[in-house]
Amino acid sequence: MLNKHKIYCDYNSTAPLLTEVRTAMMNLENTPLNPSSIHYYGRQAKFLIENAREAILQMLGVNTKTDQYRLVLTSSATEANNLIISNFLKHKIIISSVEHPSISKHTEYHNNMSILRVDNNGIVDLEHLEFLLQNQDSQNTLVSIILANNETGVIQPIKEISTIVHKYGALLHSDSVQGPTKTNCNIEDLDVDFMSISAHKFGGPLGAAALVYKSSTNLHAQIIGGGQERGLRSGTQNTHAIVGFGVAAQMCDIQNSAMRDLFELKIREICKDVIIFGENAQRIPNTSMVFMPNIPSNIQLIKFDINNIYVSTGAACSSGVTKPSQILLSMGIPHDIVNCSIRYSFGKDTTTEDITTISSVWKEIYTTQH
């Protein structure tokens, strides 16, 4: 639960657990739930997991009466993204230059990957996509494009991308981790073949995620063992977390942009030179990546932290060290601007009072240097 005196603006990193999710998980706290066991508890675990699986698919608009899409449960979206990439290593893979590291880092290890350009709003260049598809054996190609960027919130035109990708007989994966509660993630509307999502980004627990896939596709496992998840992901399922994932999916509701818009209005009143990245593109309603002139991101971050406001540069690596955002750099933003930028990501608990406090601290940090 969030402390009222602390202002959390890092929902894109992880969202607080929903009360209903916590209750559902705690109700099972002392139950041994291994779905591979044949006895009563095993059967109960299996039932709970299948219910959650159905709720997650329904959140993505899948008609569960048909078997068009299935989902494999994983420990994280990082694992789901690795699973899909690992399936196409013998083929061509096209990714955009604004992917999460769980996709983009693969370019350091494999030479079958091409990188798609983005414009200065971070939107993929569709002509470049056509060019790349025309120039290779696209029948065996995977295109992987993020649905909404975790740093800027910019939404990609996935439906248009899918039309192009399918025209060339290629397959489309979308890392849609920042989608649920923020934008339409209807997999049939978007017409993607594979989609990654992660429970902790929308009120579910850490440690539960999924790769959704068209059942007509033929995937192979990355983790080998007891054959759980139709043989696609061995290892005993994390039943408690999966139950929480299912409850979060049932509660998924798209938030509005009121708090983000108010914040952007207020900081513009303080400083006319502020830059809001991706402002002219379609963005998810909770995210604002902002340049504050002349104040390095880590200084801003520390000053906000001292004032009990928790933000992020959007590109912290696992050691917690801040690095310049590769996403902004690939949008053609100069280093000196990138190095003074901070991501604010709001959530359903963010209030008008929070925005007033954040804006006045923003003003304080800005005016100390000007």
Catalytic residues: 317
Q: Which of 114, 150, 156, 322 binds ligand PLP (CB under 6 A)?
A: 150
- For 322-338, b/e burial (b = at least 16 CB within 10 A) is beebbbbebbebeeeeb
Backbone phi, psi, residue 226, to 5°: -75, -5
Q: Which of 175, 193, 264, 354 binds ligand PLP (CB under 6 A)?
A: 175
- Coil/strand/helix, residue 127: helix
Q: Does 70 bind ligand PLP (CB under 6 A)?
A: no
CA dist 245 and 52 (Å) reads 7
Q: Which of 77, 172, 211, 252 binds ligand PLP (CB under 6 A)?
A: 77
Q: Which of 73, 84, 177, 358 binds ligand PLP (CB under 6 A)?
A: 177
In the complex, least distance from residue 241 CB atom to ligand PLP, rounded to whole angstroms: 11
Alpha helices by DSSP H, listed for the chain, are 19-26, 40-59, 77-86, 101-104, 126-134, 158-167, 187-190, 239-250, 258-270, 297-306, 326-330, 335-338, 352-368
Backbone phi, psi, residue 219, to 5°: -95, 155
> For strand 93-96 and strand 142-144, is the pairing parallel, antiparallel, or unpaired?
parallel
Minimum CB distance to ligand PLP smaller for 113 or for 177: 177
Determine the angle formed by the axes of helices 239-250 and 40-59, rounding to 10 degrees: 30
Q: Does 100 bind ligand PLP (CB under 6 A)?
A: yes
Please count the residues of the chain.
370
Minimum CB distance to ligand PLP smaller for 171 or for 327: 327
Q: Are 119 and 125 in contact (CB under 8 A)?
A: yes
Number of residues located near ligand PLP, criterion CB under 6 A: 12
Q: Does 45 bind ligand PLP (CB under 6 A)?
A: no
Minimum CB distance to ligand PLP smaller for 146 or for 289: 146
Q: Does 102 bind ligand PLP (CB under 6 A)?
A: yes
In the complex, least distance from residue 145 CB atom to ligand PLP, rounded to whole angstroms: 11
Instruction: Return left, alpha or beta for 44; rule: phi > 0 is left, psi -120 to 50 is alpha, else beta.
Output: alpha
Q: Which of 17, 56, 132, 146 binds ligand PLP (CB under 6 A)?
A: 146
In the complex, least distance from residue 152 CB atom to ligand PLP, rounded to whole angstroms: 11
Q: Does 255 bind ligand PLP (CB under 6 A)?
A: no
Q: Which of 10, 53, 76, 238 binds ligand PLP (CB under 6 A)?
A: 76
Minimum CB distance to ligand PLP smaller for 179 or for 366: 179
Nearest to 83 by CA among 208, 206, 219: 219
Scanning 174-182, 260-268, 269-277, 334-342 for contacts with ligand PLP by CB under 6 A, the matching segment is 174-182
CA dist 87 and 144 (Å) reads 12
Rg (CA), the chain: 21
Handedness of CA 93, 97, 99, 102 (dihedral sign): positive
Q: Residue 276: which H helix or E strand, with range?
A: strand 275-276
Q: Residue 144: which H helix or E strand, with range?
A: strand 142-144
Scanning 20-28, 40-48, 74-82, 284-292 for contacts with ligand PLP by CB under 6 A, the matching segment is 74-82
Q: Does 276 bind ligand PLP (CB under 6 A)?
A: no
Scanning 88-96, 175-183, 218-226, 302-310 for contacts with ligand PLP by CB under 6 A, the matching segment is 175-183
Minimum CB distance to ligand PLP smaller for 287 or for 359: 287
Q: Does 209 bind ligand PLP (CB under 6 A)?
A: yes
Q: Does 322 bind ligand PLP (CB under 6 A)?
A: no
In the complex, least distance from residue 37 CB atom to ligand PLP, rounded to whole angstroms: 27
Query: Which residues lie near ligand PLP (CB under 6 A)?
Result: 76-78, 100, 102, 146, 150, 175, 177-178, 198, 209
